């Protein structure tokens, strides 16, 4: 599978009457983690929902600009095709409550006819291992997710996304409501997935600490505009913009 660079140019998004994203341009390279950070309400979640076209589900949303996933023009392409190539993990853990742990991971490959039988079993195992959940659930794959803890549910949601081996993995504050142990495991999974498969990972976070821990690049958004973009080390140690400095210091 070839690496896919995500490239956003001159993106503007309106929802209802309000201008959510303003002339946003950014790049997220393959094999690396790009953190999108900024205070809440700055448009971070909207940005990744444009990348996988979940924005289409929001009534009254209007999008202008260009989003490229490798050579795929994401805003022009069939949204189902875009979403099949991208995976997403949401803020609240949302494994399907009516499906077993196994089925939650298997559902993606199944609906796209990618694997079955033993091949599917191996894929499910791979995804659960990648999400650092396998050891905790390998003896109860037929159980339902309501018996899992919040952090385990979130890792199951991650495994469900990974099972499709997405070239682009999007995460919307995946550890906001999660215990510290699971947070560490999720962060490790994300970095490993990016490095070992040359996937492009974009994570939305509202904590600069998390961005500093796991990302290679940081995009700082404030009130719908890109304030700063650069390698994580530089942005954290030598922020060029006053707003970034304030945000890192916890003042914004």
Partner 1 sequence: MPDWRRVKDRLFTVVTVALALLAVAPLFHILATVVVRGGSVIVRGGVSFFTDPPAYPGSGELGGVGPALLGTLWLGLVTSLIGVPLALLTAIYIVEYRESRLARIARVFTSSLLEVPTVLIGMLVFLVVVVPMGRYSLAAGSIALAIVMLPYTVSYVERALEGVPRTYREAGYSIGMTRAQVVFQVVMGIASRGVAAGILIGVAKVLSETAPLLFTIGSARGSYPTGPQSLLEPGDALPLLIFQFAQTPYSNWQDLAWGAALLLTLIILAIFALLRLLFREVKL
Lookup result for tokens 């990972």: 201
* Residue 184 in contact with partner 1, rule: CB under 8 A: no
State the binding string over 56-95 for partner 1 (x if CB under 8 A, else -): -x-x--------------------xx-xx-xxx-x-x-xx
- Does residue 100 belong to the site contacting partner 1 (CB under 8 A)? no
Considering the complex, state which of residue 38 and residue 109 has its C-beta at the smaller distance from partner 1: 109
Instruction: Please give the size of the binding site for partner 1, defined by CB under 8 A.
Output: 29
Q: How far is the CB of 236 from partner 1 (least distance, A)?
A: 30
Chain residues 105-124 in contact with partner 1, contact rule CB under 8 A: 107-108, 111-112
Pairing of strands 200-205, 61-69: unpaired
| SS3 (DSSP) at 115 | coil
Do residues 101 and 143 lie in contact, with contact meaning Cβ atoms separated by under 8 Å? yes
Examine residue 96 and tell whether it contacts partner 1 (CB under 8 A): yes
How far is CA 186 from each of CA 45, 82, 110, rounded to the nearest angstrom? 19, 24, 24
By three-state DSSP, how is residue 90 classified? coil
Angle between helix axes 117-130 and 101-111 (nearest 10 degrees) is: 120
Among 4, 106, 123, 164, binds partner 1 (CB under 8 A): 164
Beta bridge partners of 13: 21, 63
The answer to the question of residue 98 lying near partner 1 (CB under 8 A) is yes
Separation between Cα atoms, residue 63 and residue 55, nearest integer Å = 9
Residues of this chain that interact with partner 1 (CB under 8 A) are 52, 54, 57, 59, 80-81, 83-84, 86-88, 90, 92, 94-99, 107-108, 111-112, 144, 146, 157, 160-161, 164
């Amino acid at each position: 599978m070839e690496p896919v660079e995500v490239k956003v140019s001159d993106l503007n998004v309106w929802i209802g009457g309000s201008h959510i994203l303003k002339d946003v341009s950014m790049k997220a390279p393959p094999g690396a983690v790009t953190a999108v950070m900024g205070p809440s309400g700055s448009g971070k979640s909207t940005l990744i929902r444009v990348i996988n076209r979940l924005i289409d589900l929001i009534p009254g949303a209007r999008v202008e600009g260009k989003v490229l996933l490798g050579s795929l023009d994401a805003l022009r392409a069939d949204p189902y095709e875009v979403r099949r190539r991208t995976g997403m993990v949401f803020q609240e853990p949302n494994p399907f409550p009516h499906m077993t742990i196994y089925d939650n991971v298997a559902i993606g490959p199944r609906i796209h006819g990618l694997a079955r039988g033993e091949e599917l079993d191996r894929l499910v195992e791979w995804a659960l291992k990648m999400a650092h959940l396998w050891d905790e659930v390998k003896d109860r794959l037929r159980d339902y997710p309501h018996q899992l803890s919040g952090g385990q549910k979130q890792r199951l949601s991650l495994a469900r996304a990974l099972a499709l081996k997405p070239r682009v993995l999007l995460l919307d504050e995946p550890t906001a409501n999660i215990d510290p142990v699971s947070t560490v495991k999720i962060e490790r999974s994300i970095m490993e997935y990016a490095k070992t498969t040359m996937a492009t990972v974009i994570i939305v976070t509202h904590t600069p600490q998390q961005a500093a821990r796991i990302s290679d690049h940081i995009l700082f958004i404030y009130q719908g505009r890109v304030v700063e973009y650069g390698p994580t080390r530089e942005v954290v140690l030598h922020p060029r913009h006053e707003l970034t400095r304030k945000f890192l210091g916890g003042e914004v």
